[in-house]
Structure 1
Amino acid sequence: MSAFFEELDYRPTPIGALSLRRRRELSVGQDVFEIKLGEEFLMSSLFTASEIALARLGVAAAEGQALDVVVGGLGLGYTARAVLDSDAVATLTVVEFLEAVIDWHEEGLLPLGPELVADPRCRFLQGDFFALAASDEGLDPGRPGRRYDAILVDIDHSPDWLLDDRSTGFYRPEGLQAMARWLKPGGVFGLWSDAQPDAGFTDRLASVFASAWAEPVTFHNPLQDRPFTQTVYLARTATTRDGV
């Protein structure tokens, strides 16, 4: 059995101290990998159902083949791996603000890192997703103006619970409109939220996109021994058939 606790890395970052830790969770009999920002838990390998659902629901909603996908936020890699599980995906660009997180995957400190690095469809891009989405060049500085079939975001806790000030304007209609420029006709935007569905935010998406809806994702929390619900928001741009 592995040691009960180990801090694998600790880095200062522009938004605070970041730590990667592995601990043995005796209640479920498995190792758990966690990333903390200061004293705040960002993510845990114990709870991944909604991160995986973001990828699966987003790719399914995009439809078609040879899909070009962006994931905003690498984290522990569960959303990225679930995107790559689909044979319909041709390319995946993962935009991650924190260089340390990319390093942890490339160095094999995180379990999914070697698998993601080895997939030729997957590329890590170190950058500020929110700044890129609002820019005139788009999400891939090497290919200005590139558009995608799906843009899936898992960075903040929810549209109202932000990690820092960088994303303040992203969830407003003007921020969503700026991001939507980088979707192809019929392209899909997906957003993870650590909260119950919010009709107000779904309405905000609907004011920008041709359609929008919320998908509750309920899973069992083994630490509290009760069900817990998070949300995946989805929205689709108009297609050429709609006159766009």
Structure 2
Amino acid sequence: MGLRFEELDWRETPIGEISLRRRRDPVLDVDVFEVKLGDEYLMSSLFTVAEVELARLGLGVVSGSELDVVVGGLGLGYTARAALEDQRVRSLLVVEGLGEVIDWHERGLLPLAAELTGDARNRFLHGDFFALAESEPGFDRGRTFHAILLDIDHSPQNVLDSGHTGFYTPDGLRRMAAHLHPGGVFALWSDDPPEETFTRTLAEVFDDVAAHVVSFDNHYTGGKSANTVYVGVAR
């Protein structure tokens, strides 16, 4: 029998102490991988349905083939893997602000690491997604993309860093949308229920805006939990 609990890595970062843990859930009989920032849980491999749906719902609106995609936030890799499962994806650029998270994948500490590092279409970029979105060169020296899939903050109203708030305004979203092809898609994960004010903000910049509620089983409560995936099409 393996260890019931193991801290795989711990680092001091500019935004606080970040740790990667693996524990055995005796009820579900699975290994659970968790990332914590200080005492706050950032992500868990038990709850990945909405991360997967972020890619599926976003890419599901994109037409054509030979797609170039940006994922903002690597995390445990579930959004990136779901994007790569779409065979139309020609290239995937995963922007991650914490080099430690990229290192976990490159060292093979996470379950999806081999799939992501072994796919030639995928590239990790250690950088500030929000700063790159604001910049004129964008994410890759002026290249435009067919989809940008973002999962970094808890929600547009509950951000990890106060410097991110300007991104969720019409001006911030327009600067990001400049890095999309016409008809390209922006999709955003949120831990909160759909928020009407933010939906209206998205509609100032994008067409065909939708807020999808993604529900999933919560093994801790014995009931259902839900996240939101916002999707909009670039003009």
TM-score normalised per structure 2: 0.98
Q: Distance in 1 between matches of 2:2 and 2:224?
A: 29
Q: Counterpart of 1:214 in 2: which secondary structure?
A: strand
Q: Counterpart amino acid of 1:109?
A: L
Q: Distance in 1 between matches of 2:49 and 2:204?
A: 28
Where in structure 2 are the equivalents of 1:1-244 lying within 5 Å?
A: 1-140=1-140, 144-238=141-235
State the Cα distance separating 1:63 from its structure 2 match: 2.0
Offset from partner CA, 1:161-215 (integer Å, 9 cap, x none): 1111231211111111110000001000000001111121111100111221111
C-alpha contact (below 8 Å) 1:51/1:79 kept by paired residues: yes
Q: Counterpart of 1:230 in 2: which secondary structure?
A: strand
Q: Counterpart of 2:185 in 1: which secondary structure?
A: strand
Equivalent residue for 1:242?
none
State the Cα distance separating 1:152 from its structure 2 match: 0.3
State the Cα distance separating 1:237 from its structure 2 match: 1.0
Aligned residues between the structures: 235
Q: Distance in 1 between matches of 2:168 and 2:26?
A: 39
Offset from partner CA, 1:15-68 (integer Å, 9 cap, x none): 111100001112211110000011110000000000000011111111211100
Query: Identity over aligned residues, as a percent?
Result: 58
Q: Distance in 2 between matches of 1:63 and 1:11?
A: 41
C-alpha contact (below 8 Å) 1:211/1:237 kept by paired residues: no
Q: Distance in 1 between matches of 2:40 and 2:82?
A: 25
Q: Distance in 1 between matches of 2:207 and 2:92?
A: 24
C-alpha contact (below 8 Å) 1:27/1:223 kept by paired residues: no
Q: Counterpart amino acid of 2:103?
A: D
Q: Counterpart amino acid of 1:86?
A: D
State the Cα distance separating 1:3 from its structure 2 match: 1.0
Q: Distance in 1 between matches of 2:80 and 2:92?
A: 8
Q: Which runs of 5+ in 1 are unaligned?
A: 239-244
Q: Counterpart amino acid of 1:49?
A: V
Q: Distance in 2 between matches of 1:165 and 1:215?
A: 26
Q: Distance in 1 between matches of 2:200 and 2:25?
A: 40
State the Cα distance separating 1:126 from its structure 2 match: 0.3
Q: Distance in 2 between matches of 1:196 and 1:26?
A: 31
Offset from partner CA, 1:110-165 (integer Å, 9 cap, x none): 1111110000000000000000000111012xxx2110000000000100111112
Q: Counterpart of 1:170 in 2: which secondary structure?
A: helix
Query: After TM superposition, what 4+ stretches of structure 1 lie above 4 angstroms from structure 2?
Result: none
